[in-house]
Structure 1
């Protein structure tokens, strides 16, 4: 059992990560008004890598990787960074911040489902219920696409961003068996940023729009790159190292809530009843699917009594 008193500083860091990641979705949505989506991604990731790599080199030095480790890190870079950032930036440019936050909130649930399928983990009725709840929330969000700035295509691309990140995360689990999570994060960010930069050089006729070098766009760009992406990843990995992944995942479910509030506060998007209903369904699905909490003891007892009565 984890002693809360001894890990207050870690819980504080994980709480900050929730705020950073929740606000980051809204930040990227805002920045797409000043930078093309496929220019924004390499700019953000290059800035984040420029902060991550020196910190890692200072802490661990330059660690040589085996061919297998390079393959794992490169695969993580392809899915978690390269493909994820492309889909994320295109999706956020084509949908509303609230829809993006809710769809990205399916991340832990989809991770559980794919891990169960690919790694042959037991698929219980609880996980089945979680799938129904989670995708019901997704469908409810999509049905509200009449909201200004939201489109069905944008919602779909944002969901692809979720899938690519989840696939990459499965490789992260394998890579961290022999490497520090901090090294895996920094190296994959470096490789991914190079790939995005090369793609951007071929695709982008322009790298910025009018007003992009004003105070607020630059300030938010730096905050998104250094804090939400780089520092957020470092703090998240620190939390996993200190208290374990299962405990850290408890905090991740708060990111969609922060993002919803941030979208309403910063982007002026209107909160509707279906956003709140979808948020409840998504969070409930995530909680059940990841096994964060179990059914209350009384509910389990009631289920057993009913089974005994009819069997």
Structure 2
């Protein structure tokens, strides 16, 4: 598989993920958010299993693998999507997209704390820069700290729970194909979300009758393409070119979210949000180690040329 094809696929995936923030914003204002999310994730899980079945990759997992998958799904699917769906009912899509862009930095912080990964000066500067960018975003329009949107805090919790799940995923993907794990996580997580929705949204099922044809098209596009297929493509790219190189494209998600919010929701973008976006992107490039890795590759290539 050529790198041009892989890069094009990753660009397409990040476009879908950025616009999916807009799609989810529309869906949570039409349906009961948690109930709708459980159905959307379940649909994505079915799509993921159909793809695996077509490639004859479906397999039964061991009890140990199942335990890690279940724990990871609690954070990666249940926690992440619960806070995301609730948060989007209380904040703008543009703010949500920008805060979600902090996800790689959250993973670095948790990996440092839990997996004892080395924290370099560059990474520390990147983490500080990224969180400064988020402060710009969540303080946008707030005269003081008490004016911060609760929705922004929920969005931040959504990426914090997702980041913790990556620790669990790292423990099991050494023995299990990540695409298979993703499919199981989507199914497990959607079932738990549905059970949770019956508690927090007693009338959630009745709200599912409210959608127009256009809204249902958005629902299935979000479930099938932005959640099911895109995760399979991204996991495939990780296998082909590695985690580090694939993660570079994550930086484009806030950009596509901002463009989508302006285009489809007519949201106004402020100077603070643009500043926050720039700080977050710079922070992720530094904090995730992406810049260090690219510089190391450049230095090695230069040294090889000099020795020839």
Conserved 8 A contact 1:31-1:221: yes
Aligned to 2:236: 238
Distance 1:197 1:241 in 2: 32
Q: 1:46 to 1:120 in 2, by over 3 A?
A: same
Q: 1:283 to 1:199 in 2, by over 3 A?
A: same
Alignment TM-score, normalising by the size of structure 2: 0.89
Conserved 8 A contact 2:127-2:287: yes
Choose from 264, 267, 289 the match for 1:266.
264
Alignment TM-score, normalising by the size of structure 1: 0.88
Aligned to 2:134: 138
Q: CA deviation at 1:236?
A: 0.4
Q: Which runs of 5 or more residues in structure 1 are unaligned?
A: 298-311
Q: 1:209 to 1:63 in 2, by over 3 A?
A: closer
Choose from 39, 48, 55 the match for 2:35.
39
- Equivalent position SS for 2:88: helix
Conserved 8 A contact 1:83-1:164: yes
- Equivalent position SS for 1:121: coil
Q: CA deviation at 1:75?
A: 1.0
Distance 1:151 1:91 in 2: 13
Q: Which runs of 5 or more residues in structure 2 are unaligned?
A: 296-308
Aligned to 1:304: none
- Provide Cα deviations, 1:18-60, integer angstroms capped at 9, x if missing partner: 1010001111011111111111211111111121112223324
Q: 1:68 to 1:295 in 2, by over 3 A?
A: closer
Conserved 8 A contact 1:33-1:209: no
Aligned to 2:25: 29
Conserved 8 A contact 1:14-1:235: yes
Choose from 227, 243, 246 the match for 1:229.
227
Q: Which moved more, 1:263-272 or 1:63-72?
A: 63-72
Within the alignment, does 1:74 sit opposite 2:41 as a pair? no
Q: CA deviation at 1:296?
A: 9.9
**RMSD between superposed Cα atoms in Å:** 2.0
- Equivalent position SS for 2:66: helix
Conserved 8 A contact 1:19-1:258: yes
- Equivalent position SS for 1:93: coil
- Provide Cα deviations, 1:157-216, integer angstroms capped at 9, x if missing partner: 110001010011121122110001110000111111111122223332133549833121
Q: 1:215 to 1:146 in 2, by over 3 A?
A: farther
Distance 2:193 2:291 in 1: 39
Distance 1:285 1:68 in 2: 36
Choose from 180, 185, 189 the match for 1:188.
185
Distance 1:70 1:89 in 2: 26
Q: 1:199 to 1:242 in 2, by over 3 A?
A: same
Conserved 8 A contact 2:197-2:204: no
- Provide Cα deviations, 1:272-306, integer angstroms capped at 9, x if missing partner: 11111000000100000111113998xxxxxxxxx
